[in-house]
Amino acid sequence: MTLELQGIGVSRGIAIGRAHILFHNQPDVREYLIPAFSIEQEVERLLDAIEQAKQQLKSIRNHIPANAPADVTSFIDTHILMLNDSSLTKVPVDMIRQRRCNAEWALQLQRDALINVFNEMDDPYLRTRRDDVDHVVNRIHRILADQEVADHEIADGRLKGHIIIAEDLTPADTVLMQHQGIAAFVTEHGGATSHTTILARSLGIPAIVGVESVRRYVQDNEPLIIDGEAGIMIAGADESTLKEYQQRRIAFDEHISSLSRYKSQPTRTRDGKTITLLANAELPEDITTISNAGAQGIGLYRTEFLYMNRLAPPEEEEQLAAYRDVVEGMNNQPVTIRTFDLGADKTVDGGRHLTQTVVTNPALGLRAIRLCLTQPAMFRTQLRAILRASAYGKIKIMFPMISTMHELLQARNLLEQCKLELDKEGMEYDRQVEIGAMIEIPASAVCAEMFARHVDFLSIGTNDLIQYTLAIDRIDDTVNYLYDPLHPAVLRLIHMTLEAGRKFNVPVSMCGEMAGDPRYTRLLLAMGLEHFSMHPNALLEIKQIINETDLSLLPANTLSIMEVSDALEADMLLEQINAPIIIKICLSFGFLIRTDKRILII
């Protein structure tokens, strides 16, 4: 009998292999009273287990392949840091002494307290960080209970080619398993933004999460098929299904390796229009991926990471070092640094105290340039650091979420003041540094001409532009279904911005997710977009589409999509615009195109 289970596909790729079920269960933790004379011994037992957990993680860290993405190491480091933190090394120790309870119980109480804090966080990304607490606490519990099976199991090489079926996996498990050559993994828990799934994507392991009770349905060593994009797991497949997936796997692998030939090619449509492909960067470590993908520069350098996990914002020298590293790492290619876009869902420790008064509608509140302008000292520190870094390579400065001319002029004014200060101090900087504004608010798109007169470039942030145009909170799952880049209002606003750029000869780029989504590439080209900035992993695929497009052959009614009121009709027109390229890509993956409204089976 064939069994097909659906989960969330979080890391694409097809895997065919035998199941290996991991029973990583958390030990049953009970409370018991420790006699007074054994209290210190119990404390020692806990500290010893924490030390062993640290050693295990350090040894795992040493097994990380040299070419693994920096994310991998940083996830393990996060867990090591947690093991050094007083919330685990001190608080449970105090509990053992005060309550005279066993080490497992003290640890469990502290785990529950920490999880409660994470559960109360608004930010869904931060909420998933409670997984880290669980992973670390589980490791200590397993040591306390002498249950170190999982790591030995993973380390002895029996997993090669297997599909791991687990309740949940830690980032450390994932690294070890990748080292052992697993084919894929399926877990009962986890979300699209958990560390483990981010790692799976970075490491190229097909993965599905959120398959409820999967361990009950699958038997050890049973043959399985995994489609990491569609989120489908098939057990007991018949001959024809198996054959079909074998072909899909070959097609997928061929497609991925065929993309590498685009790396050194110029980005140009068949009819000769040259396009600039840039990358979005969020962390300094992204530079390696960006260079590997052959990006022509960075179109959006999000600087929020500098303000995370700390109480005080970073000083000028620290920022200078970070920006200088990026610009030097990009070897003279342009780097567009966006000034801090804190607030709303990006409230982090370094800016929390600045925005906490806004409790309702934070997306409409004090964020991005608004926050920058209410914190001139903090803003100037960043502007000075960016200006100073411009002495080391080509830097552009971009202001997020501009909605009024006054904001733009105020920001420019502060920048001029910083330049004068640097002149007085004899500091070097690029006097021609270009200034740009992000178009993320419908009002700014409507008035794009007004802004175009005062900037060197504009950049469309579709993530926010769609959020504000359609009034859908981008982090609220319950209104996700309304997210629609093809909504005529969204398309018209993009078009208006592009027109304004053309009129005033000001380059317009797009750096929201829409720029890296292959479904919209041809439409955006037809609208006249010439500068795309996206996640580096999307770059070669987008380049393939551009290089295989002849703009003169696109349907004559392509731009009429901006007038289409019916979503289904808009989808159909998009299909015509994309034929045959999207079909070709999907056939090579052999699966589905997900549109925002329905799923097409090709």
Question: Is 464 near ligand PEP (CB under 6 A)?
Answer: yes
Length of the chain: 602
Q: Is 464 annotated as a binding residue?
A: yes
Q: Which two tokens stand for residue 107?
A: 């640890």
For ligand PEP, the binding residue among 147, 463, 537, 595 (CB under 6 A) is 463
Tell whether 62 is in a known binding site. no
Asked if 195 is an active-site residue, the reply is yes
Q: Which two tokens stand for residue 211?
A: 């398959």
Of the candidate residues 300, 322, 448, 573, the single one contacting ligand PEP (CB under 6 A): 300
Q: Which one from 372, 418, 511, 531 is the annotated catalytic residue?
A: 511
- CB of 463: closest distance to ligand PEP in angstroms? 3
82/397 Cα distance (integer angstroms): 36
- DSSP-assigned states of every residue in 269-289: -TT--B-EEEEEESSTTHHHH
Indicate left, alpha or beta for 16 from its phi (over 0: left) and psi (-120 to 50: alpha). Answer: beta
- Could you tell me how far CA 328 lies from the centroid of its own chain? 24
Q: Is 594 annotated as a binding residue?
A: no
Reduced to 3 states, what is the DSSP secondary structure of residue 450?
helix
Q: Which does 511 bind (CB under 5 to 8 A by kind): Mg ion, ligand PEP, none?
A: ligand PEP
Work out how close the CB of 464 gets to ligand PEP at its nearest, in angstroms, rounded to a whole number.
Answer: 3
Distance (Å, whole) CA 494 – CA 461? 10
- The Cα-based distances of 588 to 231, 234, 298, 440, 450 in angstroms read 17, 20, 29, 35, 45
- The amino acid that residue 427 corresponds to is M
Which residue of 314, 362, 461, 501 would you call a contact of Mg ion, by CB under 5 A?
A: 461
Closest distance between ligand PEP and the C-beta of residue 362, in Å? Answer: 13
User: One of 135, 195, 487, 531 is an active-site residue; which one?
Assistant: 195
Q: How far is the CB of 409 from ligand PEP (least distance, A)?
A: 22
Give helix 376-389 / helix 405-425 axis angle, nearest 10°.
Answer: 60
Stretch that binds Mg ion, among 22-30, 44-52, 75-83, 460-468 (CB under 5 A): 460-468
**If binding is defined by CB under 6 A, does position 462 make contact with ligand PEP?**
yes
Question: Are 462 and 515 spatial neighbours (Cβ–Cβ below 8 Å)?
Answer: yes
Pick from Mg ion, ligand PEP, none: which does 202 bind, CB < 5 to 8 A by kind?
none
Q: Which residue is nearest to Mg ion (CB)?
A: 464
Closest to 381 measured CA to CA, from 324, 318, 322: 318
Q: Which residues contact 498 (CB under 8 A, 6 or more apart)?
A: 508, 527, 528, 529
Q: Which amino acid is residue 76, in one-letter code?
A: I
The whole-angstrom separation of Cα 234 and Cα 250 is 18
Identify whether 20 is a catalytic site residue: no
DSSP β-ladder status, 232-235 and 3-6 = antiparallel
Nearer to ligand PEP, 96 or 398 (CB): 398
Does the footprint of ligand PEP cover residue 298 (CB under 6 A)?
no
Shortest distance, CB of residue 438 to ligand PEP, whole angstroms? Answer: 7
Long-range contacts of 142-149 (CB under 8 A, 24+ apart): 142/27, 143/49, 143/52, 143/53, 143/56, 144/27, 144/45, 144/46, 144/49, 144/103, 144/104, 144/107, 145/27, 145/104, 147/27, 148/56
Nearer residue to Mg ion within complex by CB, 68 or 283: 283
Q: Which is nearer to Mg ion, 268 or 535 (CB)?
A: 535
The contact pattern for Mg ion, residues 439-458, with x = CB under 5 A and - = no contact, is -x------------------
Which of 214, 281, 511, 524 binds ligand PEP (CB under 6 A)? It is 511
Range in contact with Mg ion (rule: CB under 5 A) among 72-80, 83-91, 123-131, 435-443: 435-443
Closest alpha carbon to 313 in 355, 274, 284: 355
Site for Mg ion in 327-366 (CB under 5 A): none
Shortest spacing between CB 411 and ligand PEP, in angstroms: 17
Determine, following the binding rule CB under 6 A, whether residue 286 of this chain makes contact with ligand PEP.
no
**Of 54 and 531, which has the nearer Cβ to Mg ion?**
531
Binding mask 411-450 vs ligand PEP (x if CB under 6 A, - otherwise)? -----------------------------x----------
Between 229 and 341, whose beta carbon lies closer to ligand PEP?
A: 341
Q: Does 302 bind ligand PEP (CB under 6 A)?
A: yes
Q: Compare residues 168 and 440 and give the one whose CB is closer to Mg ion.
A: 440
Q: Which stretch binds ligand PEP (CB under 6 A): 48-56, 216-224, 455-463, 479-487?
A: 455-463
Q: Which of 229, 341, 530, 571 binds ligand PEP (CB under 6 A)?
A: 341
Neighbours of 89 (CB within 10 A): 15
Is 216 annotated to bind ligand?
no
> Using N-to-C axis directions, what is the helix angle for 39-62 and 130-144, rounded to 10°?
120
Residue closer to ligand PEP (CB basis): 206 or 436: 436
CA distances from 406 to 133, 380, 471 (A): 45, 17, 24
Considering only residues 268 through 297, tell me which ones interact with Mg ion, judged by CB under 5 A.
Answer: none
Tokens encoding 238: 């018949």
302 in helix, strand or coil? strand
CB-nearer residue toward ligand PEP: 78 or 463: 463
Q: Is 116 annotated as a binding residue?
A: no
Please give the structure tokens belonging to residue 229. Answer: 């994009």
Buried b (16+ CB within 10 A) or exposed e, 278-299: bbbbebbebbebbeebbbbbbb
Q: How far is the CB of 511 from Mg ion (least distance, A)?
A: 8
Q: Which residues bind Mg ion (CB under 5 A)?
A: 440, 461, 464
Annotated binding-site residues for phosphoenolpyruvate read 302, 338, 463-464, 474
Annotated binding-site residues for Mg(2+) read 440, 464
Q: Which residues bind ligand PEP (CB under 6 A)?
A: 300, 302, 341, 440, 461-464, 511-512
Q: Give the residue numbers annotated as catalytic, written as ranges.
A: 195, 511
Annotated binding-site residues read 302, 338, 440, 463-464, 474
